[in-house]
Amino acid sequence: MTTIPAYKSQFIDHCIKANALKFGTFTLKSGRISPYFFNAGLFHRADLIRSISTAFAHTLADRSDLEFDILFGPAYKGVPLATTTVDKLAEINPEKYGSLSYSFNRKEAKTHGEGGSIVGAPLKGKKIFIIDDVITAGTAIREAIEIIKAEGGELVGIVVAVDRMEKTPAKDGEDESAPRQSAIGQVREQYGIPILAILTLDDVVEFTKGKGTEDDLRRLKEYREMYKAID
């Protein structure tokens, strides 16, 4: 059996406490039907948001080779993730992360006051790490990458809470059952950047073996078999 590091299993326990990792039948943004769903919006309580920012901070700080100026959290769920993880990183290693900034986009540009669509640090000329909840089909992450490009930032990496490890949906005329990369795999290859995750679907399956029902586990495994990516 695979051993899960302490910060990951603590994070999974908090996911269950927050009801953020649910088993059932869920329609994803891409239209795919999934037997599980991760809802980062439920980490709204102080102890829960602290648990997710701690897990993100350890995932990033463990990679001492990575250098970045700004954590960019795509609206909306990325916003508290970027803000709280910047704070946690500075607490863990003030020397390295004391001047780290956060930034996020508005879904609709503001036309009065300071105006614009970026809140937080300006991206121009800076090394940007995106932080978000989940990448499935890659639509949201590609939008975020376009924003960073348009603002003159340099994308140096991505970290997500859950890597669902699933292949992209079939395009028109493609066979849904044909082998394909994940959106994470495609972006990693296209941009040559690291993409990190606190948890993967494999971790969720391992966890479910210990704490979920037989039926949840069977449906998860069937889903993984059907949609697993080739990367």
Ligand X SMILES: O=C(O)c1cc(=O)[nH]c(=O)[nH]1
For binding to ligand PRP (CB under 6 A), which residues are involved? 29-30, 76-77, 132-141, 183
Pair 229, 181: CB distance under 8 Å: yes
Give the H or E element holding residue 143: helix 139-150
- Among 110, 124, 149, 211, the one annotated catalytic: 110
Task: Return the number of the residue (145 or 217) whose C-beta is nearest ligand PRP.
Answer: 145
Answer yes or no whether residue 136 interacts with ligand X by CB under 6 A: yes
From the list ligand X, ligand PRP, none, pick the one residue 103 interacts with, judged by a Cβ distance below 5 to 8 Å according to partner type.
Answer: none
* Active site (annotated) includes residue 29: no
Alpha-carbon distance of 142 to 139, in angstroms, equals 5
Alpha-carbon distance of 43 to 22, in angstroms, equals 13
Among 13, 24, 29, 124, binds ligand X (CB under 6 A): 29
Which region among 5-13, 31-39, 120-128, 171-179 touches ligand X (by CB under 6 A)?
A: 31-39
How many residues bind ligand X (CB under 6 A)? The answer is 9
Question: Cα–Cα distances in Å, from 189 out to 84, 128, 181?
Answer: 29, 17, 10
Alpha-carbon distance of 102 to 85, in angstroms, equals 9
Answer yes or no whether residue 39 interacts with ligand X by CB under 6 A: yes
* Active site (annotated) includes residue 44: no
Catalytic residues: 110, 112
